[in-house]
Amino acid sequence: QERLQHLEPEEAWKLCGLFLVGTPAYGDAPFKKIPLSPEVRRNALNETALALKGLSDFSHASIEGALRPLVERLGLKTRDLFMLIRIAVTGTDVTPPLFETIAVLGKERALKRLRYTATLVG
């Protein structure tokens, strides 16, 4: 709500459309902002999917608890990993808060998008 200035269809769609589409339209542009090799991106997305798959409670708190340790384990910068995840699950680099967005998307759709994007980034 704090990111939506006016209830105009175009602005609302930019922030909310990601919840309504089956698979976002991914382009190369967002991924170019992340200074990681295709191999590292693919591995990070697959590891993220594994970390989320094991969660029985799919709340934003449990998602955050699963993903923050992944940063250190993979030896990545927080902003790089979280931007990669954000783009993978939403198709864009500007979204509502990441962990809440993943929770609202739901486990099945989030995992599907992470796995699908892992095939694109290589």
Give 13's pLDDT tier (boundaries 50, 70, 90).
Answer: very low
Q: Nearest 5 degrees, angle CA 111-CA 115-CA 120?
A: 145
Choose the weakest-confidence range: 2-11, 29-38, 46-55, 111-120: 2-11
pLDDT of residue 11: 59
Q: Nearest 5 degrees, angle CA 54-CA 59-CA 60?
A: 105
